[in-house]
Amino acid sequence: MSSPVRVRMAPSPTGSPHVGLVRTALFNWAFARHAALGGQDATFVLRIEDTDKERSTEESYAAILDLFRWLGLDWDEGVEVGGPYGPYRQSERSDLYRDVLAKLAESSATYDCFCTTDEVDARRKASGSKVLGYDGFCRDLAPEQRAAFEAEGRRSIVRFRMPEGSISWDDLVRGEVSFETAHVPDFALCRANGDPLYTLTAPVDDATMAITHVLRGEDLLSSTPRQIALFEALKAVGVAETTPAYGHLPYVMGEGNKKLSKRDPQAHALAYREQGFLPEGLMNYLALLGWAIAADRDVFTLAEMVEAFDIKDVNPNPARFDLKKAEAINADHMRMLGLEELTRRVVPVLQGADVLGDPVADADAQLLEQAMPLVAERMNKLTEAPGMLGFLFVDEAAFELDETDAAKLLDESGTDVVRAAHAALADLGTWSTEAIQEALQTALVEGLGIKPRHAYGPVRVAISGRRVSPPLFESMELLGRERSLGRLASALDR
Ligand code: GLU
């Protein structure tokens, strides 16, 4: 059996979760699930990087978990489910970080730095150096100088001593990547009050959680040489065994070739649920941000993705976010669900819109079962259900016409059409789709000589309240004789 695979998603619970975060989580998840299919021992870990106390919120934490559960991104180890390397929230791992800092200090991998930002800036100006960040001033502080700083009451932070030379790795997505450490200043590992920073906690956790592959966004690429250097130091003090492999997933671009930012409404992952997206549709779309199952194929299931996923196929070039495409893919998944499953998903949406009660009345459930085949092929998002089906369930007293559609179609000639329809249907023998169609055809198209295209619009508005509805004759059959005739009569009374 091959060696175990351990990947992790490590979101910071700040703000509303971004679609880029979901894309990264999905690729990690698919990586683990694909490895498991091949018989490997593969684990997907969810840990929470909440070292930034000011910006981390419980609300954001809950939103991330809610999102992952909705999407079916199940994690094997991590917050709430536990596991052998817990706790999985960094705010609960302070003792570990303190320990590791002590070990690193002892091995001289780090040093205390007493400089203020102003001093560092002033030195840079004076020397004319173009290198940003820390200049290494406190690297080899003489004991007297250190004592003097302490006597002044200065506080210190811990910095990592970047080694000289270059740091390279074979990126799983981008191939060979190399950084000269001359351009990577000695970085801080904790604040003056001792609180650890991300620069320390992420590699320490990757080490102590035995992570084998770090797949994350390209925005973190510049932190990788620092993390790899720190890993060497962690190995030297016995905290890490091996350095994980790194793979950096492409940027997600929004409008106008700019990175999709938090300010962009399309960036908020949970908004897609509110808009009526299926998790299947959203996940399929997000999979395409950097990956493809085949050159000419956009629509696939998660199971198909898991089967085919190989990190080597991820395209390093920026991926463009395209809402229209996301919607089209969602529409395909709506059809792929099948009638029964689609009905199951539509019910809570109809309940949320007060179209159905909770629990659903038996008569309503029956009506819904009859109506779903009429609309299943026409819905692109779950949220379209109340608008399409509401007219069948609403009480007559509460039934309303869409004002714009009514103004357009129930003008004088439209009202004449409705009057003729009412007359033709009033004494209809059997109230069936075929009989209704035939009666209306005879009365409106043949009788009044109106083109079918124009004949049914006014009737449709009177019956369903809207210009766009499920098929008219079927809808009237479902609505029943009394309610249909009642609605035609009220349209005439307007
Ligand atoms: N907590 C980091 C973030 O949310 C992720 C760090 C990582 O994946 O290495 O950006």
Question: Of 262, 324, 381, 408, which residue is the catalytic one?
Answer: 262
Q: Report pLDDT digits (tens) over 252-309.
A: 998 878 898 888 888 999 999 999 999 999 999 999 999 999 999 999 999 999 999 9
User: Mean pLDDT across the stretch 407-433?
Assistant: 95
Residue 457 has pLDDT above 80, yes or no: yes
pLDDT at 2 over 80: no
- Structure-block tokens of residue 340: 């029964």
Which pLDDT tens digit goes with each residue over 148-187? Answer: 999 999 999 999 999 999 999 999 999 999 999 988 999 9
Active site residue 235: no
CA of 12 to the centre of ligand 1 (A): 6
Strand 157-160 relative to strand 110-113, pairing? antiparallel
Q: Which pLDDT value is given to residue 1?
A: 57
How far apart (Å, rounded) are the C-alpha atoms in residues 364 and 395?
12
State the pLDDT at residue 106.
Answer: 98
Nearest residue by C-alpha to atom 7 in ligand 1: 10
Query: Could you read off the pLDDT of 191-232 as tens digits, one per residue?
Result: 999 999 999 999 999 999 999 999 999 999 999 999 999 999
Q: How far is the CA of 281 from the centre of ligand 1 (A)?
A: 25
Task: Provide the whole-model pTM.
Answer: 0.93
The per-residue pLDDT for range 325-360, each reduced to its tens digit, is 999 999 999 999 999 999 999 999 999 999 999 999
Site of tokens 């003097």: 148
Mean pLDDT to the nearest integer, 36-47: 97
Q: What pLDDT is stored for residue 454 in this prediction?
A: 83
Alpha-carbon gap, residue 192 to 157, rounded angstroms: 5
From 24, 49, 68, the mutation candidate for ligand 1 (largest count of ligand atoms within 8 A of CB) is: 49
Q: Which residue has the least CA distance to atom 6 on ligand 1?
A: 10
Distant-in-sequence contacts of 291-296, Cβ < 8 A, 24+ apart: 291/27, 291/315
Q: With 80 as the cut, is the pLDDT of residue 430 above it?
A: yes
* CA end-to-end distance (rounded Å), the chain: 77
Whether ligand 1 lies within 6 angstroms of the CB of 418 is answered as no
- Please report which confidence band the pLDDT of residue 22 belongs to, taking 50, 70 and 90 as the band edges: very high
Q: How far is CA 420 from CA 122, 415, 492, in A?
A: 88, 9, 11
Residue 452 confidence (pLDDT): 82
Mutate to test the pocket of ligand 1, among 198, 224, 243 (most ligand atoms within 8 A of CB): 198
C-beta 201 within 6 A of ligand 1:
no
Binning pLDDT at 50, 70 and 90, where does residue 131 land?
A: confident
pLDDT digits (tens, 9 = 90+) for 86-113: 999 999 999 999 999 999 999 999 999 9
Mean pLDDT of 79-84: 98
More confident position, 448 or 172 = 172
The mean per-residue pLDDT over the stretch 376-382 comes to 95
Does ligand 1 lie within 6 Å of residue 216's CB atom? yes
Phi, psi dihedral angles at 191 (to 5 degrees): -85, 170
The rounded distance, in Å, linking the Cα atoms of 479 and 458 is 17
Partners of residue 169 on adjacent β-strands: 177
Question: Does the beta carbon of 10 sit less than 6 angstroms from any atom of ligand 1?
Answer: yes
Res. 237 pLDDT band, cuts 50 70 90: very high
- Whether 49 is in the pocket of ligand 1, judged by its Cβ within 6 Å, is yes
Question: Which atom of ligand 1 is found nearest the CA of 198?
Answer: 1
DSSP at 251:
P
Question: By the 8 A CB rule, do 245 and 172 touch?
Answer: yes
Residue 285: closest CA among 268, 271, 302: 302
